[in-house]
A and B are shown apart, each in its own frame.
Chain A
């Protein structure tokens, strides 16, 4: 009975979370991304980054504006990571992106508020990171796999213990009956 209660409570919580989080997960899955190399950078008089242009593998150019909330996760040639927001490092961002442009380092940009004007896409970059081994959107499949496997195994183990408990219960009943 205890095992059943535990399984039921966990199941209710998990189903509730799926229902609650499904919209945000779907939204995350539909966040637009561009993978490509930087082909242009625009800075202001203070050397702070204003816009940059990325060319993807098909040659499509996308212009990205940056905002204070834009986040960066970029590595230099030595492999040192630099993580910050535009608000805290707009000059360093321009310098790092210039370095990426010179080295033709591929990056991944997630963006919002995309507009398209005569084939030219423009958006506000929300994050700029070194291109990952896999695309960010396909990574959600790995998260799903991890969480699904974990909970399936835990529930399977609880089920296995429930079966064992049933056998023990049956044996106790038989012994009690034989002693009457």
Chain B
């Protein structure tokens, strides 16, 4: 019984229920937008995912900064976990935006500011993860990766203000402090966008938390192996298991 109650009140269940409610709001509750028709519903997925991608790089840079300051591995782990989830959100933001652009702008891609800066953000994530994957392990790697993340975070405000700074095909900001009141969403559309943003934020947090825990276990195993001389038979078994998985 306790197990069932724990599952019901767990963040996982909360996230699943919120996501389900959001999908119901998107497909059933919210009215179809008059100008774009049904395809406008992509907004409720595209904007929260793009928000997740931007939130990701903020967490990566904050984690990296705290790692450089405190020299505590917790922050480095948080940065890596957030970068990995961020690359998923960033890639999805680009993909969903491209699919939406085709029926609305008649092209898959244009070289305008908002799109280009988002692509740069995706490359920053990829560069960060590639650097960590190929640079020899050690504190030098963690320090340099942290610097890449902090420099990469400069892209975030540029993405946020890009549509307002360079008026092009991408619509201006519809939410947030810099949003123009004339271009803001109506009540029902705004409610669905807010619900979707909350759902995807929770999903982002959950994924980062899960990735963080796995990373923590991996690090602990590495430290354990370093500190305790395991016999070669066990090490062979482990390397075999890695090879097969």
Contact = CB atoms under 8 A, between A and B. Distances in A.
Given A6-B206, A9-B12, A14-B23, A170 B241 contact: yes
Interface in A2-20: 2-3, 5-6, 9-10, 12-14, 16-17, 20
B139 interface: no
A157 B230 CA distance: 32
A136 interface: yes
Interface residues of A, number: 56
A65 B217 CA distance: 67
Nearest to B211: A161
Interface stretch (A46-54, A114-122, A126-134): A126-134
A150 B105 CA distance: 21
Given A9-B16, A10-B19, A13-B23, A136 B38 contact: yes
Contacts of A163: 245
Contact of A6 (B15, B103, B221, B237): B15
Contacts of B152: none
A160 B75 CA distance: 23
B16 A143 contact: no
A26 interface: no
Interface range for B = 35 or more
A140 B38 contact: yes
Nearest to A85: B34
Nearest to A75: B35
A146 B12 contact: no
B35 A17 contact: no
B38 A143 contact: yes
A142 B102 contact: yes
Contacts of B37: 127, 129, 132, 136, 139
Contacts of A44: none
Interface of B is mostly: helix
Contacts, number: 144
A167 B35 contact: no
Contact of B207 (A25, A145, A157): A157
A72 B42 CA distance: 21
Interface of A is mostly: helix
Given A149-B99, A161-B214, A167-B245, A143 B39 contact: yes
A139 B245 contact: no
Contact of B7 (A5, A81, A146): A5
A10 B35 CA distance: 32
Interface in B194-228: 203, 206-207, 210-211, 214, 217-218, 221, 224-225
8 contacts: A129-B35, A132-B104, A133-B105, A138-B103, A142-B39, A142-B42, A157-B85, A170-B245
Interface of B: 7, 12-13, 15-17, 19-20, 23-24, 27-28, 32, 34-39, 41-42, 45-46, 49, 85, 88, 91-92, 95-96, 99-100, 102-106, 203, 206-207, 210-211, 214, 217-218, 221, 224-225, 230-231, 234, 237-238, 241-242, 245
